[in-house]
């Protein structure tokens, strides 16, 4: 069979400019709609969030896990919900008002009602003296306490001797809620995409990762898939632990994974490697970032951050990295009221979506091949793969890609291995492999897969 490809076809961006702008606007609209909801690690805010996500992903499954359910060394806490909260002065004016901004209340605050002296109230107030106009975000998930957050400039104005305090909340037996979407592929081997859904009105930290995950799932749902993709929308820490404890079978099938978060700012991309450090996902993301010439930083794994630290705990040691822009704690808006929809840029969301699409497309394409004519170079000219006139340099990169694929196609090397060794682009090597397949010079090698998570010394403890 004679191949028709003489030169590699140009590779357009996954999202053309108008499509990227439309995607960014649509993601920002979803983020803005979700922003006012008062989310926490449990409660109605999480349910309302997932109900809206279901409008975009109708196949999303919503799970309720009862209070007290064990999850390794943890258990599902009591469910927290809040209706109202305020601090009033003697004139009945709300000087702190949950209805104006849900960050004003420490998440998981127990109910409070009554009058307190200023001295009694002050230990329960949290502010940022270095950022006096911003409201901080604070939580008390696993300690029964209560508190309010307010701009430091407002705290300095609280000079009356006593204030009326009300937190109309409930902390009672209920459940933890998380969402899960499974997109089956031709293989049962899985790619895990995880994002956290436990923060209240914080746009970049929480909602940017969620919106990118939603739109990535929509993209994958429209594509033929080699891998099975599992999207999980979980409350941070306890949610991923609950999911892991309930999905021992799925854990053994996870071949690649990403935690997506903090993707809406103007900062450059940051990829935090998995605990393994050299997993295929670690190497592939690094290659994609390098080949696309996007400003970026690569970080080694540390056991802090987002839910990658649960997926990468030693008993699982899953190949799951974390993709973000500027990391947590490294931008001044982090965990403050300045992390609002105006801080998140639609173009940043679109860029993050395109990067994620490129990553999964590369995962799908990263195959192993075997050279069917390994004794010397096969004659490429008579198969239409070599230039008709020798001696010049025209078409040299394409010819070199063909030769690298033929030379490294030993049944073990993947396209990623070839790209790393040759220094050539993943895409052009993929095109070369397809051309050689069409000529009958190459065969795709069947996949073999073993996951250390299934044979860990820790087992599925």
35 plus 88 within the same structural domain = no
CATH of the domain at 148: 3.50.30.90
In-domain check, residue 9: no
pLDDT digits (tens, 9 = 90+) for 63-92: 999 999 999 999 999 999 999 999 999 999
pTM over 0.85: yes
pLDDT at 91: 97
Domain end (from 128, 147, 172) = 172
Residue 456, pLDDT score: 41
- CA nearest neighbour of 80 among 203, 215, 179, 177: 177
Q: Are residues 181 and 316 in the same domain?
A: yes
Task: Tell me which of 172, 189, 216 is where a domain ends.
Answer: 172
Residues 117 and 99 placed together within one structural domain of the fold: yes
Domain that holds residue 163: 80-172
* Per-position DSSP letters for 198-266, written without gaps between them: --SS-IIIIIIHHHHHHHHHHHHHTS--SSEEEEEEE-TTHHHHHHHHH-HHHHTTEEEEEEE---SSS
**Buried residues in 144-169 as b, exposed as e (16+ CB within 10 A):** eebbbbbbbebbeebeeeebbbbbeb
Strands (E) in 246-351, as ranges, are 254-260, 269-272, 296-299, 320-324
Give me the number of domains the chain comprises: 3
Question: Is residue 459 scored above 50 in pLDDT?
Answer: no
pLDDT at 8 over 80: no
Last residue of a domain, one of 109, 143, 172: 172
Do residue 186 and residue 264 come from a single domain?
yes
β-sheet bridge partners, residue 84: 168
Residue by residue, DSSP assigns 117-140 as: EHHHHGGGEE--TTSTTS-B--B-
Inside any domain, residue 218: yes
Q: Answer yes or no: do 198 and 325 share one domain.
A: yes
Same domain, 221 and 332: yes
Burial of 247 (0-12, 13-18, 19+ CB in 10 A): middle
Verify that 321 and 270 share a domain, yes or no: yes
Where helices occur in 62-102 by DSSP H, the ranges are none
Q: Are residues 336 and 266 in the same domain?
A: yes
CATH number at residue 424: 1.10.10.10
Residues 340 and 218 in one domain: yes
Q: What is the CATH number of the domain that holds 292?
A: 3.40.630.10
Instruction: Examine residue 451 and state whether it is found in any structural domain, yes or no.
Output: no
Q: Let me know whether 203 and 291 are in one domain.
A: yes
As a whole number, the mean pLDDT across the chain is 92
Please indicate, yes or no, whether residues 204 and 330 belong to a single structural domain of this protein.
Answer: yes
- At 2 the pLDDT is 39
Name the E strands within 345-446.
368-371, 410-414, 442-444
Q: How confident is the model at residue 448 (pLDDT cuts 50, 70, 90)?
A: low
Residue 427 lies in a domain: yes
What's the pLDDT tens digit per position in 401-441? Answer: 999 999 999 999 999 999 999 999 999 999 999 999 999 99
Shared domain check, 116 and 69: no
* pLDDT tens profile 216-226: 999 999 999 99
């Amino acid at each position: 069979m004679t191949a028709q490809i003489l030169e590699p076809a140009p590779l357009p961006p996954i999202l053309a400019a108008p499509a990227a702008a439309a995607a960014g606007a649509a993601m920002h609209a979803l983020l803005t709609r979700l922003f006012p909801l008062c989310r926490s690690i449990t409660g109605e805010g999480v349910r309302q969030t997932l109900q809206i996500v279901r409008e975009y992903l109708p196949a999303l499954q919503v799970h309720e896990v009862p209070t007290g359910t064990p999850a390794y060394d943890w258990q599902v806490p009591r469910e927290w919900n809040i209706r109202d909260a305020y601090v009033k002065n003697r004139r009945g004016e709300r000087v702190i008002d949950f209805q104006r901004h849900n960050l004003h209340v420490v998440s998981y605050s127990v109910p409070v009602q009554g009058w307190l002296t200023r001295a009694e109230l002050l230990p329960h107030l949290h502010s940022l003296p270095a950022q006096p106009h911003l409201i901080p975000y604070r939580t008390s998930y696993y300690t029964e306490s209560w508190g309010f957050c307010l701009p430091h400039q407002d705290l300095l104005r609280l000079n009356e001797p006593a204030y009326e305090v009300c937190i109309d909340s409930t902390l009672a037996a209920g459940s933890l809620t998380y969402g899960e979407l499974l997109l089956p592929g031709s293989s049962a081997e899985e790619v895990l995409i995880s994002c956290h859904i436990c923060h209240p009105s914080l746009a970049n930290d929480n909602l940017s990762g969620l919106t990118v995950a939603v739109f990535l799932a929509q993209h994958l749902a429209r594509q033929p898939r080699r891998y099975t993709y599992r999207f999980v929308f979980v409350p941070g820490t306890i949610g991923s632990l609950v999911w892991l404890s309930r999905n021992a079978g799925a854990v053994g099938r996870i071949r690649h994974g990403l935690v997506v978060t903090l993707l809406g700012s103007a900062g450059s991309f940051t990829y935090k490697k998995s605990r393994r450090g050299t997993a295929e996902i670690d190497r592939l993301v690094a290659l994609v970032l390098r080949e696309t010439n996007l400003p970026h930083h690569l970080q080694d794994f540390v056991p802090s951050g987002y839910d990658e630290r649960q997926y990468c705990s030693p008993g699982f040691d899953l190949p799951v990295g974390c993709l973000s822009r500027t990391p947590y704690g490294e931008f001044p808006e982090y965990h403050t009221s300045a992390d609002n929809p105006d801080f998140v840029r639609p173009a940043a969301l679109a860029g993050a979506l395109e990067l994620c699409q490129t990553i999964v497309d590369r995962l799908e394409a990263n195959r192993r091949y075997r050279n069917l004519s390994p004794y010397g170079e096969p004659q490429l000219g008579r198969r239409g793969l070599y230039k008709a006139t020798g001696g010049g340099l025209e078409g040299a990169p394409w010819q070199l890609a063909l030769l690298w694929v033929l030379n490294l196609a030993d049944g073990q090397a993947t396209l990623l291995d070839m790209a790393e060794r040759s220094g050539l682009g993943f895409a052009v090597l993929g095109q070369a492999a397809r051309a050689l397949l069409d000529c009958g010079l190459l065969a795709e090698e069947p996949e073999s897969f073993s996951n250390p998570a299934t044979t860990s010394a820790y087992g599925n403890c």
